[in-house]
Amino acid sequence: MANPILEVENLKTYFFTDEGQIPAVDGIDFHIEEGEILGIVGESGCGKSVTSLSVMGLLPSPPGKIVSGRIRYNGEDITHAKEAKLRKIRGNEMAMIFQEPMTSLNPVFTIGQQLIEAIRIHKKMSRKAASEKSIELLKLVGLPRADELINEYPHQLSGGMRQRVMIAMAMSCNPKVLIADEPTTALDVTIQAQILELMVKLNKETGTAIMMITHDLGVVAQVCRRVVVMYAGKIVEEGLVKDIFNHPKHPYTQGLIKSIPDLHDKKKRLYSIKGNVPKPGSIIQGCYFAPRCEFAMNKCHTEMPKLIGESHRVRCLLHGEE
C-alpha cells in the first residue's frame, strides 16, 4: 500500500428490519491511495452505496448499523466517531456527490446562496470572499457565465450543469477524498462523458482522491486506476483496471465486461448476466453467485470461496489453487 488516505477493514454493515437482519455489506476490505481514482462496481443491491454511506457516516441509523470492522481516514479510526467529528470531516476532508443533484440542491435558494453557505460552514470567510470563491469554483468546473449563474435557481439549469454545481460544492473545501455515487447515471451520454472528464481533470489538478461508485464498468474503464467489484455485499474481485479488463478472473466480472455496449457495433445484441442479485438477507449456501454462474460446480453450492491474491484478488473456487 503506498499512501492510503482511506482504509476499510472487514466492514460489516447490517440493516435491522422487521423481516430480520440484512447484511448489506458483509466483511469488505479495501483502501484508497492519496490522489487515486478507485472504482467500486456492481449491480444495484450489491452494497456499493451502503459502503459509501458507512464511510461518510451518513448511514440511516436505525435501521442501518456498522456491526464490525474499521474505517480509517488518514490513519485515524473514524468508524464510530461522534457526529460533530464526522461533520468536520465531511466537507473539510471528504465530500460526496449523488446521482440526482436536484435532491441535494435546495430549489428555493440560488446557486450562489447555496455555494456561499457551503463554503462558510467550513471556512471562516466573509460573505464577499465566499461569493468570489463561488464564482471561482463555478469556473473551475467549467460552467460558463459564472457571475450570472450564482444568481440563478437550480431549476434554471440543465441536469449536467446541476451536477457541475454539486461537484463545485463538494470541491469547495478542497477535500482529500471525493465519493461520487453514480454521478453520471441520470445524465445523457455526451454529458456523462463531460462530467467524467471534469472529474479526471479535478483529480489531476487538485490531487483529490475519488471513490467512483457505479454499476457501469465502462465508466470505470474511462476514469479509474483500480477497481473493486462487489456482489451481494462482498468483494468478488479487485485489482488494477488494466489487469481486470485484460484478465477478468471472476465470472461475475467477466459478465459485467461482456455487458458493456460496443460503440462500434451498435447492432450487436447486448449481453446481460442471467438472473438477479439475491435479495439482501436471502440465505444462500456457498458462493453467492452460484445461482447465476455458468461455471458453477457442485462444491460452489456448499463452500464460500475466500478472497485470495495480492494485487489482483478474486473470490472464486475456479482460482482456489493458484
Task: Report the interface residues with ligand SF4, using CB under 6 A.
Answer: 250-251, 287, 289-290, 293, 295-297, 300, 305, 316-318
Strand 37-41 relative to strand 313-314, pairing: unpaired
Nearer to ligand SF4, 173 or 307 (CB): 307
Nearer to ligand SF4, 98 or 289 (CB): 289
Nearer to ligand SF4, 18 or 321 (CB): 321
Q: Do the beta carbons of residue 99 and residue 182 sit within 8 Å?
A: yes
Instruction: Report the nearest approach of ligand SF4 to the CB of residue 22 (Å).
Output: 21
Instruction: Report the nearest approach of ligand SF4 to the CB of residue 220 (Å).
Output: 20
Residue 310's identity, in one-letter code, is E
What DSSP assignment string belongs to 94-126? Answer: EEEE-S-HHHHS-TTS-HHHHHHHHHHHHS---
Q: Do the beta carbons of residue 245 and residue 257 sit within 8 Å?
A: yes
Cβ-based neighbours of 206, under 8 Å, separated by 6 or more: 171, 174
Instruction: Report the nearest approach of ligand SF4 to the CB of residue 126 (Å).
Output: 58
Q: Do the beta carbons of residue 182 and residue 215 sit within 8 Å?
A: yes
Nearer to ligand SF4, 257 or 296 (CB): 296
Instruction: Report the nearest approach of ligand SF4 to the CB of residue 286 (Å).
Output: 7
90, three cell numbers: 465531511
Instruction: Report the nearest approach of ligand SF4 to the CB of residue 173 (Å).
Output: 42
Nearer to ligand SF4, 14 or 289 (CB): 289
